[in-house]
Amino acid sequence: MTWQDVENYRDIRAAQELQERFQNNVTSGLTAHFQELAAALPADHVLRITVTDLDLAGRVEPIFTDSFIPVRVMNRIDYPMITLSFEYLDASGTVLKSGAETVKDMGLLETRKAMMASGRDDLYHEKRLLDKWFQANFSS
């Protein structure tokens, strides 16, 4: 798993924590999710993924209370988007599938269930997007 030029991603902006810590939490959280998904593949196969851009669900906006506090606001027009390339190899190193694409789901934030569930996981929408991508590319 490679995260390429993270500091240049479209939106990996921290709201109320240090930017470096936020970036590390996002990349490690999504890396762990990729690893969970890849665990469903045959044990002797290899899936290499390089993420080249990320736009998290929602956007960071200042909210005024006693002062301006940045918060990530979720709405239907700020859907998650991930640009990645991948190689899927069998045990002998033969490339079974490869590609590069921008994965997005503009309807991901539309259900009330999704909005409610997202409160338990900061990367809920991005993980659901990756679940759909993985299912489309690697389910038999």
For residue range 26-85, list pLDDT tens digits in order: 999 999 999 999 999 999 999 999 999 999 988 877 787 777 777 777 776 778 999 999
Q: How many domains does the chain have?
A: 1
Task: For residue 81, give its domain range.
Answer: 2-138
Relative orientation angle of helices 124-138 and 19-38, to the nearest 10 degrees: 30
Question: Percent of the chain beyond pLDDT 70?
Answer: 89
Q: How far apart are CA 22 and CA 100, in angstroms?
A: 26
